[in-house]
Amino acid sequence: MDLQSIKQRFEIIGNSVGLNRALDIAIQVAPTDLSVLITGESGVGKERVPQIIHSQSLRKHNNYIAVNCGAIPEGTIDSELFGHVKGSFTSAHSDRKGYFEEADQGTIFLDEVAELPLSTQVRLLRVLETGEFIKVGSSKAQKTNVRVVAATNVDLAVRVSEGKFREDLYYRLNTVPIFMPPLRNRQEDIHLLFRKFAGDFAEKYRMPVIRLADDAVQVLNAYRWPGNIRQLKNITEQISIIEEKRLISAEILKNYLIGADSSNLPALIKNQKKYEDFSSEREILYQVLFDMKKDMNELKILVNDIIRQNPEVKINDYGTQIVKGFGDDIKMNDFKPVYQDSKIDHDDFEDRGEVIEEVLSLQEQEKELIIKALEKNSNKRKLAAEELGISERTLYRKIKEYDIKK
């Protein structure tokens, strides 16, 4: 079965490169018995991949069982997965088959596999390596032939380093990795998904289909969608039910999107992970420029305070400040003059500081980047916005703010 047929069968909407790559890998690996680990943020649709794998495998006529490992209490998860014998614990009134026994010759999907307790991880590793498991309360090993597909929205390598996930199990599960991209990296698919959901809810609630105005489509595509497809579906349903107008404007849409008016440029944050959340090197550069400007301003204030409080401060011909009155002479800073002339008058110190600040102005840097991007893309805002890594709406606002003539 080809990719397009798979999408139609499982109602998968989109044509982004990342999505197609993930589905291609799933189709290719399906006929084998290799373990598969699906990674991606919550809400990206990871649960569709194991269904595709099972449907295209030699096990498709046998059981497919999906298990949410995070939803089962730690005290009962071994019993759920591997079964138990009568009397093994208080409420065990009879023998019970576990999921691995029920899924024999079929496929078992372990969602949120990172939530498994370490003791259960040991049991799972034995199943993967030998095909054997032991029911809770029993001493007899049983055989099972199960294809295991797992999924997680956390970085298992980090969990391994923290001692919360077994390294050997990680490598056994990660035989074939499949990454499902977040919705913000599938911009060309966002409006398609919205229209699909809008049509579904119009049919479900027997009402006219909602549509987006052009400005609303721009807002939709520029939003980061932290909840991914699940969030988009929920918002589409809310708008379908609540709004009386069937043509949704940007202002109406923004009421349902948390933080839709915030700029895509990085915000100043102060913590040990200050650079970890930025999605591109360009955003990191912006943050570095912010920090440089702040440091220069603080340095300028500090030096001016020293000058005001210490009248004996002198600035020599090489731009070096000498402070007297503290025992030995102390050199406060040493830098080459900004001007071509080697001599700097004392009264020019303030002007000199202003020149340094002007050179490091973030606004000038940003304006220059925007102008270059517009020139490179023949003043086409959409292409320039993609070049800069910001939304077209943000670029339009910046053009007005800096009064850039196109």
Contacts of 316 (CB under 8 A, 6+ apart): 322
Residues of the chain with pLDDT under 70: 261-291, 293-295, 297-300, 302-362, 406
Residue-wise pLDDT for 129-153, tens only, equals: 999 999 999 999 999 999 999 999 9
Which amino acid, residue 252? I
Burial class (CB in 10 A: 0-12, 13-18, 19+), 101: middle
**Got the DSSP string for 252-272?**
HHHTTSTTTTS-SSPPP--ST
Whether the CB-CB separation of 37 and 152 falls below 8 Å is answered with: yes
Beta strands (DSSP E) in 155-313 are 176-179, 211-212, 247-248
State how far the Cα of 223 lies from the Cα of 193, in Å rounded to an integer: 14
**171-202, pLDDT tens digit by residue?**
999 999 999 999 999 999 999 999 999 999 99
Distance from C-alpha of 194 to C-alpha of 209, rounded to nearest angstrom: 11
Q: Which amino acid is at 13?
A: I
CATH superfamily assigned to domain 3-181: P-loop containing nucleotide triphosphate hydrolases (3.40.50.300)
18 Cα distance to chain centroid: 14
CB 365 within 8 A of CB 289: yes
Compute the distance between CA of residue 393 and CA of residue 318 in angstroms, rounded to an integer.
48
Q: What was the pLDDT predicted at 262?
A: 56
pLDDT of the residue at 266: 42
Output the pLDDT for position 3.
93
**pLDDT at position 367:** 83
State which fold the 185-254 domain adopts. Helicase, Ruva Protein; domain 3 (1.10.8)
Check residue 267 and give its pLDDT: 40
How would DSSP label each residue in 361-385? -HHHHHHHHHHHHHHHTTT-HHHHH
HSE toward the beta carbon, residue 302, CA cutoff 13 A? 9
Q: Does the structural domain 362-401 have CATH classification 1.10.1060? A: no
What CA–CA distance (Å, rounded) separates 126 from 110?
15
Domain boundaries, the chain: 3-181, 185-254, 281-359, 362-401
Do 3-181 and 362-401 have matching folds?
Answer: no
